[in-house]
Structure 1
Amino acid sequence: MRETLDNVFKKYQKKFTIILLPVLVVAGVISVYTLMQPTTITNQVDNNVSHFQTSYDYKATITPNILYPTGGTIEVGDTMYKKITNAIPFTINSTINSENEVIAKGTHEFQLLIKAGDLWEKSFPLAEKQSFAKKGTAISIIDKSFKIDIEKVKTFILKVEEETGIRTEEYTIEIVPNIQGTIISGGIEKDIKMEDKLIFQYFYEEIKLATEKKFISTIPFTTTEISKNMFTFFGSELPLTPVRIISSVFSLLFILVIIYMNKNFWANRKKNVQSLAEKINKKYGKRMISVSQKVETSQKSIILLNSFKAIIQIADAKELPIFYYNMHLDESKLYFIIDGNYMYQYEINEIELARSRSRSRVKNNKNEAESDPAYALD
């Protein structure tokens, strides 16, 4: 059976190599790729999304003037004039809108904060802390109206400047909400915290809006799903683990086959080298002397010969013995003649073997002694 396999591999070695190498590359690439991929994929699934929105709406209460003879509370833009503005009434509306029903609970409170840059600040409560607990897809957390008394603000700032001597060109008036609580959806609980301020810049003659009037934040409710990773092959999705095992096994199998083929190839080369040496030893063994170590050549002139026939000719002409040395490390065979300070040598190596094999293919029908001049007698 072994001889049959060897013969098959020897006969179709080139075809096997051409077929196996691309398959090995493909299997190896798939194996490496699948080994680098996780066997499972973690996905975040959005079960529900809540939007927490807070909006402010303000107007100005003014005294009668040439522009507004009747005065009263009017719609204004981002700029108000201190001289004719008595108060800024405003409403705050805070809601939670969700795709699915949620439970919201917590507390809220509001403060009015007057600041003089980094010099000082003073807070005044607008509403005491209150709790809430509501359920639904559209929940109103706050819907309240407040008023900033500009006359009181002016009076307070003037008093601070008078008593402390601290004065700045710009003050700010801030509406500071403090909403804290939780939202529960599908058993998942998320914290909510809102501190989006409505800020006005308080100049000598003007009051200007310094922030947006609407604030929105998103609170997602997600769960983690773990699924098996798939390998896509020509449009088909295959489980990653079996693909990884099969491609790895095939890669290893193809590597072993290629190694086996090369092993036979080198064994054949070694066999051919040995058979050439055996033929020489068989024919001229009685004329050769085997030595166990290489002769010291530092004091001799070495003449390299390109055929064993030249060794025979020189030995016959000078009536000298032929020495034989087996170089075990590379399986080369060295034949040499010593003539005083001269050393004539011929070596059978892989290059000579390749030459011998090439000639043997061309001269298959000739006598083996005639096919290779490396050991021809005549």
Structure 2
Amino acid sequence: MKRIFSNLLNKKNKKLKFSLTGLLIIAATVSVSSFLQSTTTTSQINDNTAQFGTSYEYQATITPNILYPKGGTVDVENTIFKKITTAIPINLTSTIKSDNEVTAAGTYEIQLIVKAGELWERVFPLQEKQVFELKGTELILIDNNFDIALTEINSFITQVEEETGIRSDQYLLEVVPTINGTITYDGKEMPIPEQENLVFQSSYEEIVLISDKSFTSAIPFTSSEIITNTFNFFGTALPLVPVRIISMILSILLLLPIIYLNASLVATRKKTSTTQVDKINKKYGSRLIPVSQKINSDDKTMITLQSFKSIIKIADEKELPIFYYRTHQDGSAVYFIADGDYLYRYETVKLTIARSTEEILDGDEAYAKV
């Protein structure tokens, strides 16, 4: 009865251990996943976007010629004939457009830079420094007309070439608007972006536009929003921090009984295995004769018995002593009876086999096998 109860208890403990292990895997997985996930996420929100744009329009002032008998200011494409052109009138417009009202404040000035490759450059002012402070959704920072006086520029270049004896194959004429200021929205202040230049390339016979005539850049006004992350548990969004705490505590609480059950099962298995020899020796110790080594069985017929009860029965029938020796490798023991040319032998189960001692002592297995 005790053996049956022990077996049932062991089976129940194994099922419980299996169930707890499954729950532990789930809890540990949730715990690790929740700790790998950040508690918060910072999201950028676009509160307002301002578009800063600069555009150039230009013409050519020419002397009367066979193409333009009246001369004057005419519309031209990208190429300007240098020999008949005295000036290049330019209109420069810089604007700011935004979804919501903004404030722009700062200064601007416009210059012409003449460059002779890597040899030299010279700055000519086109517009003196001006101050602006504007508010609204459509702001005009610059809307100016000015001329590039080619007659003066050509005279300057000719004088440099004569005095230095250095002549460049090509010259660059760059219209440079310099705006220093800020755009403010809802207490947030952003610098006005750097503007692109209008660039002409001047050779001996012609002036060619080599840049774009309009430029646009975005000035975003953003704010940060901190979002508390949640843990998705089978489609249900749960607060991340409580999930971390609960899953960690649950993992620990599940691990402890698993360790206990495992230790209990190991102890039971070990106790069952290691007490087989001890219980046999305790019960029949007066009839057992220990020997230090096994008997030489080469010249005897070996009969292996399948229960210790058989050893007792043969010893009683033949009135012979029972010898035994321990096997040190696995902790089992061999019990034998020497009867002339016959050797009756029974060996206990090894430590790794969990059998109850009652089965060893009172088993109903076959009497013997050769």
Instruction: Give TM-score scaled by structure 1 length.
Output: 0.78
* Contact 1:42–1:227, Cα closer than 8 Å, also in 2: yes
Q: Sequence identity, in percent?
A: 44
| Ranges in structure 1 where 5+ consecutive residues have no aligned partner | 1-5, 296-300, 338-343
Partners in 2 of 1:324 and 1:250 — Cα distance? 47
Q: Which structure 2 residues correspond to residues 221-240 of structure 1 after superposition, within 5 A?
A: 221-240=221-240
Specify the SS of the correspondent of 1:56. strand
CA deviation profile, 1:205-225 (whole Å, cap 9, x unmatched)? 121111111111222222222
Within 1, Cα distance between the matches of 2:97 and 2:351?
85
| 2:172 corresponds to | 172
**AA at the equivalent of 1:350:** L
Match of 1:161 in 2: 161
For residues 289-329 of structure 1, the C-alpha deviation after alignment (integer angstroms, 9 at most, x for no partner) is 599xxx9xxxxx9x9x998989x89x99x9896455888xx
Query: In the TM superposition, what are the counterparts of 1:1-378 in structure 2 within 5 Å?
Result: 10-13=10-13, 15-16=15-16, 19-286=19-286, 287=288, 322-324=324-326, 332-333=331-332, 349-351=350-352, 353-354=353-354, 356=355, 368-371=361-364
Q: 1:308 to 1:80 in 2, by over 3 A?
A: same
Q: Is the 8 A contact 2:114 2:121 kept in 1?
A: yes
Paired AA for residue 111 in structure 1: Q
Count of aligned residue pairs for this structure pair: 350
Shift of 1:249: 2.6
SS in 1 for 2:141: strand
Residue 184 of structure 2 aligns to a residue whose secondary structure is strand
TM-score normalised to the size of structure 2?
A: 0.79
Cα RMSD between the aligned structures?
Answer: 4.1
1:349 corresponds to which letter in structure 2? Answer: K
Structure 2 residue ranges without an equivalent (≥5): 1-5, 337-344
Indicate if the aligned counterparts of 1:288 and 1:324 stay in contact, CA closer than 8 A: no
Deviation at 1:274, TM superposition (A): 2.7
The whole-number CA distance in structure 2 between the counterparts of 1:196 and 1:76 is 21
Could you say if the C-alpha distance between residues 78 and 326 of structure 1 is closer, same or farther in structure 2, counting changes exceeding 3 Å?
same
Give the Cα separation in 1 of the matches to 2:291 and 2:226.
Answer: 75
Q: 1:141 is paired with a residue of what secondary structure?
A: strand
Once the two structures are TM-superposed, the CA of residue 86 in structure 1 deviates from its matched residue by: 1.6
Mapped to 2, the partners of 1:50 and 1:135 lie a distance apart of 13
**Distance 1:17-1:309 versus aligned 2 partners, 3 A rule:** closer
Contact 2:322/2:335 (<8 A) preserved: no
Question: How far does residue 198 in structure 1 lie from its aligned partner after superposition?
Answer: 0.8
How far off its partner does 1:145 sit?
Answer: 0.7
Q: Which residue of 2 aligns with 1:3?
A: none
